[in-house]
Amino acid sequence: MTTLSHAAVGLLVTKFFVDRGWLPDTTITPYILGVAFANIPDIDGLVSLRRVYDHHSALKNLSHYPANWFIVFGFVAVLALPFHIRFFYTYLGLATVNVFLHFILDTFSIYHGIAWFGPWIKKKYSFIRMLPIIPSDTHEWVHWYMKHWVLYLEIALWIVTLMVLLEHWI
**Digit-coded pLDDT (tens) for 126-162:** 887 665 566 666 677 777 777 777 888 899 999 999 9
Contacts of 44 (CB under 8 A, 6+ apart): 55, 56, 60, 61, 62, 63, 64
Q: What is the domain count for the chain?
A: 1
* pLDDT tens readout for residues 24-61: 888 899 999 999 999 999 887 776 655 554 555 554 56
pTM: 0.83
Between helix 29-39 and helix 88-106 the angle, nearest 10°, is: 40
Residue 152 buriedness (CB in 10 A; 0-12 / 13-18 / 19+):
exposed
Neighbours of 140 (CB within 10 A): 14
**Which residue range forms the structural domain that includes residue 47?**
3-169
- In degrees and rounded to multiples of 5, residue 19 shows phi and psi of -60, -30
